[in-house]
Structure 1
Amino acid sequence: MSVITTAPAKPLVIGGLTATAVAAVATAAVAAAGEAAGISLAVGGEPIPVPGFAVLTAICSVVGLVLALVLARTARRPRPVFVRATIALTALSLVPDVLADASTSTKALLMLTHVVAATIVIPAIARRLSA
């Protein structure tokens, strides 16, 4: 009989929500800096408001946190499963940016915000999961 040990949920939730807040601020800052540097935030002719970056980052990060909580309870080795899954999901999240009706610089900025969020959130959550 195998025993699945789980990490306590409270540090995972607190760490995940803290990383979510940091990532939300960081992606909004990257978007604002890009806009200040003259990069359009328009996709398909519609501008993306800077706060929208923070909101979508927060939503997607919380989804990642929920995934981590589920894996912490169900996977034998939740950390590597979480890291592989979230890296794959981050890569998939770049596809709409590549296909977007936007300038190359806008696409690059959008993809940068995904990478910034991932580099903040994934390690912060992963380090709180059992290896």
Structure 2
Amino acid sequence: MTSTPDTDIVARPASRRYGGLALTGLASALGAAVATALAAAPAGALGVTFEIPDGGETIPVAGFAVVTAFFSVVGVVIAAALLRWSARPADRFLWTATALTALSLIPPFLAGAAPATVATLIALHLVAAAVMIPALTRALRSRSA
């Protein structure tokens, strides 16, 4: 009976696995924040009001970037947790992020905003998801292999 000595087994250091994921995630979060702000600005210039009827407040373009960055970082944390505790982190992240994106499309309908505002808010959610989900899924696939 032969055994493989422990010195023959090479594992990727945890700091490299999570550090690379964090770097990819933060860069993607920045990209998603910029993308949503760049998409919101022309919509506002075309007459879409980002006014919330209940409070009468208007969402500023910078607000889209800040909220997108925050929830993108939440996505990076979810990805890191799945990398740590899941046997198939990329698949689990893809399903989780897709489900959370679908859930995020509900509040714009409930806010009572104008139809153009609702459509733009949904589009902005999808822009952020289109940046974050593929980037983190690819990063998880390369780190869990």
Q: TM-score range by the shorter chain?
A: over 0.9
Residue 26 of structure 2: aligned partner: 17
Cα drift, residue 35 of structure 1: 0.3
Residue 41 of structure 2: aligned partner: 32
- Runs of 4+ deviating beyond 2 Å: none
Task: Say how many residue pairs are matched.
Answer: 127
Opposite residue 130 of structure 2, the aligned amino acid is: T
Cα drift, residue 24 of structure 1: 0.2
Aligned-pair identity in percent equals 47
Could you list the per-position Cα deviations for residues 49-72 of structure 1 after superposition, in whole angstroms to 9, with x for gaps in the alignment?
Answer: 110000000000000000000000
Q: Secondary structure at 1:47's aligned position in 2?
A: coil
Cα drift, residue 98 of structure 1: 1.2
Cα drift, residue 114 of structure 1: 0.4
* Residue of 44, 47, 55 corresponding to 2:66: 55
* Residue of 69, 76, 83 corresponding to 2:80: 69
Could you list the per-position Cα deviations for residues 85-105 of structure 1 after superposition, in whole angstroms to 9, with x for gaps in the alignment?
Answer: 000000000110111121000
1 or 2 for the larger relative contact order (CA 8 Å, sep ≥6)? Answer: 1
Larger radius of gyration: 2
Opposite residue 101 of structure 2, the aligned amino acid is: T
TM-score with structure 1 setting the length? 0.92
Show structure 1 runs of 5+ residues with no match. none
Matched, 1:119 2:130: yes
TM-score with structure 2 setting the length? 0.84
